[in-house]
Structure 1
Amino acid sequence: MAYAALVSLLQTLEESPQPMQHILSDLLEKVRCLLEILDDSARKNSLSIKDLEGQIRDASFQAQDIIESNVLTQLELSKSVSCGVGSCFWEIISALQDMFPAIHLCDTSMNLDKHKGLKKVIDKFASISGALSKIKDGKEEAPSARNSWGAGSSRFIASNKSALVGLDQDLLHLKEWLVGSSSNLDIISIVGMGGIGKTTLTRNLYSDPLIEDRFDTRAWVVVSQDYHLQDLFTILVISTGKDGSEVQEKSVNELADRLYKNLKGRRYLIVMDDVWDTKAWDDVKRFFPDDNNSSRVILTTRQSEVAIYANPRSPIHHMSLLSPESSWDLLRETIFGQEDCPYELEKIGQEIAENCKGLPLAIVVIGGLLSRDIKGENWEHIAQDVTLALARNEGDQLTDILTLSYNSLPHHLKACFLYMGVFPEDYEIFVSQLIKLWVAEGFIKPLTPKSLEELAEDYLSDLINRSLIEVRRRKHNGEIKTLIIHDMLRELCLKKAQDEKFLQIMNSHSHVFLQDRNNQRRVSIHSDSLLPLTVVHDPYLRSLLYCCDLHSSNRLVSFIVSFKLLKVLDALTIRFSEFPIGILELVHLRYLAFCHSSNLWLTASIRKLQNLQTLVIILRDTRMLHQDDTLYLPSSIWKMPQLRHLLFEKGFSRSSFLEDIIGEDSVVLENLQTLSDITNLNCTKEVLEIMPNLKKLGISYVHNSLTEWSSYEFNNFIYLHKLETLKCVFITRDAQAKEPLPLNLAFPLNLRKLTLSGCRISWEKMTVVGSLPNLEVLKLRDNAFAGSMWEPNEGEFTKLKYLLIESNHLEDWCANHTHFPQLRHLCLNFCTWLKAIPSDIGDIGTLETIELFECNSSVVASAMLIQEEQESLGNEGLRVRVNSYDDYFKARRNTSLRKVTT
């Protein structure tokens, strides 16, 4: 974790007080230089730099500890006496000078005997210095690792045809692809995580009699991570030639030319198994001739990027995990072959198979273990923790295969991947929460013009494309909403995190971390039985995350605040009845999340947390929300320039918002991207200009007879030029009131998601929404628009993908496929007045689902008729779902469960 440690240290240096920044400028440049060296070493696949990473990591940790501890000391001293940079600060400079060789920060000298704790760090960096100079001078020796094509090829040749349990449809689909009518050379990519069965599937495909007869010549080569062209071309020439004499003492160029001649004019099938890099494809592709004779190349890879690069025009075959039924079939066959499983072992066997989470290699490996115990004496014990059983008995093969994926990661992704171990097993991870945590942890190296969050999204996409994490749910516009990580990959995270001193999981059933519990940078609590956590000793703890459910917080505050250097505190599972004032001592906090149980007054002293980036405060259970339960915000919160995300449950400013946010000491919150949910925001131009980079805004307006709607100046939303998501809920205290919203409502052109509730605007004014050029998601709730008829205008809603209409008096909807050309999902809830869905809606080529809940029977009938008509036209993709109460409220609960953090 040298790279992540250096990035975090870099941010600490850049965020240090101004006097320190000037003095530490040389150190800052040294850290940047080290980051460049690590980036360069990743590109060159350097081995020698890897030997130094642990030393760099430890030294960076200690440097960060020294700086942040003394910043804290200076802040504490400033409370009682006004002073500049004290003598203790000069000790910091001297210590850092010795830790980072060749840095001359100042003329201050020091006696090392006074800093015994730094001697080990100094020794480490003394050894690092020489190695770094070799790298800078380009004297580092190239890796000597050899490609494993010989072993891999032999393994393939010697192996028997594997059973394709659960992969029959994959085989059929790919076989049709191989023998398809296309005469051009086609590159077919099979993508999936390690151990998912890519090679097994391809092996069966390659050996199929139909495929053998189809092609004049075939060749199989295992590429691997450290391939050598000489080896690749040698095996390809041998496989496609008439004898082996063609490869004797041939150069790479001669072998490549020989391969081209062997393939020219022949229909061939080439399998390039286990491709890790686009360069491997670039090195060989020009020697595969395209003679319009339906030749094919199959690539297997863990990385979508490689597949897309090899053939951007061809679909990718993504491998899926096995179903529980197929998992049991594979496990049973692995253990018993063609014999039946004893009846008394079937139930526990099925449980073990399901606990392998559909990964074929894990099933085969655990099957090998179970086959030694045909009587099933230990099956119950193994079923309790399959991952542990694999780790203790047969895990080497599986671990080695999965470790290849981790080792191939560039430096900047390794910490992000290991962080997935923070969450409990089978936990559904919200992307928005994960990204905020990554940023707060300091994993993201700034790179203009993108924001840290945008860079984090790029990191996330890369991990997904490398088949290391899996998308679980998507938002209505196709964006990723939640993720999961396979148990075996999570186990890999935990093992590597232990080696890298990266993460400590505190769980009464944990088997991973049994060593001394010191030097802990991050701790994730998965069991309340361990609290209070007297086992956590390290005063330099940076992150504390609670993933266990606690109903009382009183005994925890004193424990939490003992970690003075804490940067991340995620306590959303802990309910506070009042603001935990002790947390204000944690001046380095960047991320703070907790729950409250009723009215909560946020202290004005929150401003002490000047490094705070994300603040999340929600009610413990949103279903218990009372209309008077409110989070009261102080004016000081609008004076914290580092804030990036403010997420509340009914956050309400105690005085006029305009007075709170604008004053003599007002600041421009340039970093603020999220503000949700705030009550009665007065949208004056002056207020909105304080938040120029806001991307997500959620507001609730509570209307009474003393306030005119127009006083909130909704037309000024247009000044939020970067706003992408807006949610406006209008609540009228008088249930009989029918007053509509002012007609001067206006929205910024960049808006992509809009939720409106209670506006009561005439449908005739819908053009203010329909004309938004980038709108993808529109949710209209509680008579957001009023009237009995809606007839959209031509040329509007050009990018709309999701439309929800809920609790509305709409009767006649006059629309056709031209009004919503890209609509994918239509959802109608409680539309009891609506007569029918326009029949032409079914002609929208992109439409996938129509969901209905509590609508007239005539609406349901019209939806079914639309589906029948589309099926008669050959469109099998459109589905109509009529939801029950259970379906509806389950969906709403899932949406609101973590809505504040997302």
Structure 2
Amino acid sequence: MAVYAAVTSLMGTVHLISQSSLDFQESNKECSKSLHEKVGSLLEFLDNSDNELMKDLQKKVKDLANEIEDEVESQVLQIMEKDEHIQTEANERLRKILEQAIEDIDSVNEELRKQRNKNNNSLSGNCSLGGSTSPRSRVSTLENDMVGHSDEQARVRGELIGHSSLLEVISITGMGGIGKSTFAKTMFSDPSVMGFFDVRGWITVSKDYSLRKMLLSLLQDAIGVNEVLDKKPDDELADCLQKCLKGRRYLIVVDDIWSTKAWEDIRQWFPENNNRSRILLTTRIMEVARDASYPKNLFPMRFLDPEESWNLFCQKAISKNDCPTEFESVGKVVVENCKGLPLMISVVAGSLSSKRTLDEWNEVAQSVSSLVNLDDYQRCSGVLALSYNHLPSHLKACFLYFGVFKKASEFSIENLIRLWIAEGLFKLWGIGDLEKEACSLLHDLIDRSLIVVCKHSLDGKIKTCRIHDLLHDLCLRESPVPCVGSFPPNLKKLTLQGTHLLWSKLTIISKLPKLEVLQLKALKLFGDELGETVWKVSEMGFPKLKFLLLEKKGLKNWKATDDSFPCLERVIIKNCRFLQEIPKEFADSMTLKRIELWGCTPSLVNFAKEIQEEQESLGNNILQVYAYDTIREHGAALAYRGDDLKSEGVEVMD
């Protein structure tokens, strides 16, 4: 959520002032501490605010936080100058900015407090479930549990371990959210099935599939981790997989396959061993199921019956034994309107699990009832959007971040938490506390059935997760992407801050013929197979660009071509803590004069210095490299080369 990201980003900036060893006046450090506390109090209101009633106030908070941070950063740049006169004047301006910011935040806090009191008064006398915690205990181990379908499980189990010696393909079909993958996972983990097969493997195909990734995944299941395989071409990997499966009884789950072409691409990998091997396939497309199934093992998933639906709801929302009659009646209305679709039931139950009052339950029930006349897909999408709207602000920000991952992909929890922290989505305490908070929020999203656990590590911790396709679509819908194509061709200066953006749109920006100044601040870029951590600049990209500010905290790799950035003069890179290198093509640039690195790694600083040295070896002594607050030297400013840093702060580019 944009407002939460803006507030936490501001907290980070003022926190650094209070802790920095730079020449800040003591009064400014005290003001920054006070501002940090007051801004932090905003989070308490945002976490518990009603999205509709307080939408205007939330926008005001977001705009104010961004404005304060920009003004503070502009003065911090001046305080870093070596000229004492410039430092003194900047400190005085910073003091006034901080004092005014404290007044503004106090004013907003008062508005939020009044609105909160108004909301609380409207809820007086409302029936409550009682207790201070969620109406159910954490059930993060239950997200993948199957409810109902006992007859279907028995039939499919019989097919999987049946007496036919032929390789059989069993297809599970049905709409999105009906539970195909959960059913397949239940069968895959069934003890009698596990003991029957020598090898078990699982691949998720999805719409945009990678044959290589699927081959490597199956080979890892078959023979374990092998670094040599990574270097082999696809045809050798396919041959290696066939040899691994030859003569062994195997079960392969082919999950979420969308086309007959995809099936044709992968069916050749699986040899006929005449030893009762099986393939279990899930798809929304009946044509794919008919084409793949052999000898005609089609199992259409049905909707849950009323009893199964209620059991699933209770598993996710509240214990049957702890549910007061008035809450039970509301819950059954909700379940009835979910029409037996497991994903809908799970998500809306997850939302209700955090609601304490009967009025809150009735509000959700009425919203679900309003969707009852829509078709299945529209109704499911509406319920998912409803559950998103009922998330606290901090969870909205974390949930929307899943949109940066490729649809149907399995992602590492460790990497996810690092990216969350790097993007500034949490309150700023010690790094250990940040990781603890991130894990807590992750479990909260799991408990709300918004994330599905895929794998656990040996010590029982969650290792990987994935998000349902329909929820991924919701992330993209709720993360507005600006209409880049509407930018005027004569545009010379552009700042993009705190928005979700497709990589393809950034490619369009790179083609703007007169763009000279570009600032990319805290973007969330997604849409390519490489994910959001790699920026590949297209050929002839940014033909007139002279100034580039890059603040992309999750960025790991930045690649360019020989003919991109032909006019670039100045590059500022801020807080790119994972970036190790800048484009090596900069070593051949005849226009580049200055590289500034703020809060980056020593590796990146050294790489920039190597580019500078290579330029010098070619007789070009123009390029200067500066590094400030290098990660291992907090607060230090290192100038590898050049005179005093002139007052060319990025604020003049806004």
Structure with the higher helix share, 1 or 2: 2
The structure that has the greater radius of gyration is 1
Q: Normalising by the residue count of structure 2, what TM-score does the alignment of the two structures yield? A: 0.47
Q: Normalising by the residue count of structure 1, what TM-score does the alignment of the two structures yield? A: 0.36
